[in-house]
Chain A
Amino acid sequence: GNSVTQMEGPVTLSEEAFLTINCTYTATGYPSLFWYVQYPGEGLQLLLKATKADDKGSNKGFEATYRKETTSFHLEKGSVQVSDSAVYFCALLYSSASKIIFGSGTRLSIRP
């Protein structure tokens, strides 16, 4: 079946460090891939997306590239800030099924 596996947290980094949160997926066909972010006490927000192989999604300094050959969609940021502390969810969506499958979430904490 379809699934999303992402790096277990919590991840703790110092400000300005490089961030990678790994995400791999199992799916038939060609899903769209997403990263969602949930800041403390808030709802879920779409961070970035990619809809086909080799697409790169980017937003707020975060990037992720849809890699079909490795079935991955790793989230990266070159220099994290304290304000990036949140829980990050990798997810996939088949437009035909309209059902989002979420990864387990990775809690990120950034130290000043």
Chain B
Amino acid sequence: SAVISQKPSRDICQRGTSLTIQCQVDSQVTMMFWYRQQPGQSLTLIATANQGSEATYESGFVIDKFPISRPNLTFSTLTVSNMSPEDSSIYLCSVEEGTVNSYNEQFFGPGTRLTVL
């Protein structure tokens, strides 16, 4: 199974600033995903990031607010732009592994806990 690391693990930021979260995987993966988990809530998919193409955003999320980079098959970044207290959440990246003949499974990073003051 893939091993995923995220940086930073947590941060406290001022409103109006931006934070870039990094996600590193120990193997090459095609599909990477970014999720948000607001306090006391379940996980919500922000976008799907495939290497070599633009990220695909879910309803309610836009590229200007959450720009994503996917420069290669082991790395991605998510930027939370012009932050407000409502952006305080845990942000998680995940990757999908699987083969043609087996089911696909997603593995999650440890998350980045963001607090916006």
Question: What does DSSP make chain B's interface, helix, strand, loop or mixed?
Answer: strand
A93 adjacent to B106 (CB under 8 Å) = yes
Cβ contacts under 8 Å, A104 to chain B: 41-42
Asked if B92 is at the interface of the complex by the 8 Å CB criterion, the answer is yes
In the complex where A51-B103, A95-B98 touch, is A45 in contact with B108 (Cβ < 8 A)?
yes
Instruction: Sort A-B residue pairs by CB-CB distance and give the 6 closest, nearest first.
Output: A43-B110, A43-B111, A95-B104, A44-B108, A51-B103, A102-B42
Cβ contacts under 8 Å, A93 to chain B: 103-106
B43 adjacent to A95 (CB under 8 Å) = no
Interface flags, B85-117, vs A, CB<8A=1, else 0: 000001010101010000111111111000000
Asked if B19 is at the interface of the complex by the 8 Å CB criterion, the answer is no
Cβ contacts under 8 Å, A45 to chain B: 108
A100 adjacent to B45 (CB under 8 Å) = yes
Asked if A60 is at the interface of the complex by the 8 Å CB criterion, the answer is no
Contact among A34, A43, A49, A98 with B48 in the assembled complex (CB-CB below 8 Å): A98
Question: What does DSSP make chain A's interface, helix, strand, loop or mixed?
Answer: strand
Residues on A lying within 8 angstroms of B by beta carbon are 32, 34, 36, 42-46, 49, 51, 89, 93, 95, 98-100, 102-105
Minimal beta-carbon separation of B54 from chain A (angstroms): 16
Alpha-carbon distance A45/B106, docked complex (angstroms): 10
25 contacts between A and B (CB under 8 A): A32-B105, A36-B108, A42-B110, A43-B90, A43-B92, A43-B110, A44-B92, A44-B108, A46-B105, A46-B108, A93-B103, A93-B105, A93-B106, A95-B103, A95-B104, A98-B31, A98-B33, A98-B48, A98-B96, A99-B45, A99-B48, A100-B45, A102-B43, A103-B42, A104-B41
